[in-house]
Amino acid sequence: MLTEEQIEEMMKRVRKLELKARRLVRESFSGEYLSSFKGQGLDFDDFREYQHGDEVRFIDWNVTARMGMPFIRKFREEREMSMVLAVDVSGSADYGSVSTSKREIAAEAAAVLGFSAIGNGDKVGLLIFAGEPILFVPPAKGSRHLLRMIREILVARPLRSGTSVEAACDFLVKTLRRKSLVFMISDFQSDPLDKPLGKLSRKHETVALRVSDPLEAELPRAGRVVMIDPETGNSIQVNTNSRTLREAYAKHSAWRSELARGLFKKHGVDAAELNTQSDPLPHLHQLLRRRKRKRGA
């Protein structure tokens, strides 16, 4: 259980995140969000006379019969949508080789995206997961609602070790009845990934934010060290002065990264790479610009 000092320190971090996220949204993020993520459906607006080139499937035959000439149904895009932030808080999420952990980067990205959505009138929900879904907060509007979710991301502690992206995807597919925009924020060091991501992306618009740390990609020369798996607690002593070991480690890390990127591409999941040693905002900007070009906005 958290002490009063820990709770106060956590709330300071939440307030700091709020101020930073609001400033970023106000200065540069909101417009890009609006043009990159549009509504998920169409609302009926009115009738008008059929014109050459109109979709025949939109002809309203009852109105056409009454008026004696073809009329079609007009629609307007449904702007409001629901965003769900699915955040991995497993053991590896608390790793950061310098000062910032993957969990903190995830919380910052969630705050920026959340305030962008709320500023555009959208609802935001949260799924926190590790080896299993831990907490689900249904989509709603309002800053207080979002601040509660950021707090939950920072303080959540899983009861089960490990990471299961599959369990998170299955939960979202079963729980979200309306098509939503899902941001999956994780290091994606989980098996399996292929079928769960495919199932989720077929039902919901899915974006992957893959969070990593530089030391996960390349080992420094530091002599004999004890490496501990934060997911299982298992440890092993290795000699990092071994060139063969460092090369094998880097090769395996690159393979996992390529595997994840390949699966994102296979299932049409837009993705961005976030890192514990860099500001996540430029990477989110690049993601939104790519989506904007793809949509022709």
Highest mean pLDDT among 62-76, 133-147, 235-249: 133-147
Are 64 and 18 in a shared domain? no
The two structure tokens encoding residue 86: 């699915």
What CA–CA distances, in Å, run from 110 to 27, 46, 49, 280, 284?
17, 38, 45, 10, 11
Are 70 and 207 in a shared domain? no
What percentage of the chain reaches a pLDDT higher than 70?
86
- 146 closest CA partner among 179, 117, 105, 176: 117
User: Mind listing the pLDDT tens digit for each residue in 213-232?
Assistant: 998 888 888 888 888 777 77
Are 62 and 195 in a shared domain? no
E-strand ranges in the chain read 41-49, 71-78, 82-88, 123-129, 133-140, 181-186, 205-212, 224-228, 235-239, 270-275
Are 90 and 173 in a shared domain? yes
What percentage of the chain reaches a pLDDT higher than 90?
40
pLDDT at 78 over 60: no
Are 193 and 73 in a shared domain? no
Are 227 and 237 in a shared domain? yes
pLDDT at 44 over 60: no
Q: What is the mean pLDDT of the chain?
A: 85
pLDDT at 182: 97
What CA–CA distances, in Å, run from 164 to 90, 271, 286?
9, 19, 28
Separation of alpha carbons 62 and 255, rounded Å: 59
User: Mind listing the pLDDT tens digit for each residue in 107-152?
Assistant: 989 998 998 888 778 899 999 999 999 999 999 999 899 989 998 9
The two structure tokens encoding residue 8: 């106060």
pLDDT at 71: 82
Read off the CATH number of the domain in which 11 is found: 3.40.50.410
pTM: 0.80
Where among 25, 58, 78 does a domain terminate?
Answer: 78
User: Mind listing the pLDDT tens digit for each residue in 254-292?
Assistant: 999 999 999 999 999 999 999 999 888 889 888 888 877
pLDDT at 247: 92
Are 154 and 72 in a shared domain? no
pLDDT at 75 over 70: no
Separation of alpha carbons 72 and 49, rounded Å: 6
Number of domains in the chain: 2
Are 157 and 69 in a shared domain? no
Are 129 and 247 in a shared domain? yes
Q: How confident is the model at residue 34 (pLDDT cuts 50, 70, 90)?
A: low
**60 or 84, which is more confident:** 84
Separation of alpha carbons 187 and 163, rounded Å: 9
If you ran DSSP here, which 8-state letter would residue 66 be given?
H
Do the bridges between strand 270-275 and strand 224-228 make them parallel or antiparallel, or are there none, so unpaired? Answer: unpaired
The SS3 assignment for 217 reads: coil
Expressed as residue numbers, the domain containing 48 is: 41-78
Nearest 5°: the CA angle 165, 285, 268 is 45
Are 132 and 9 in a shared domain? yes
Are 68 and 108 in a shared domain? no
Are 151 and 229 in a shared domain? yes
Q: How confident is the model at residue 27 (pLDDT cuts 50, 70, 90)?
A: low
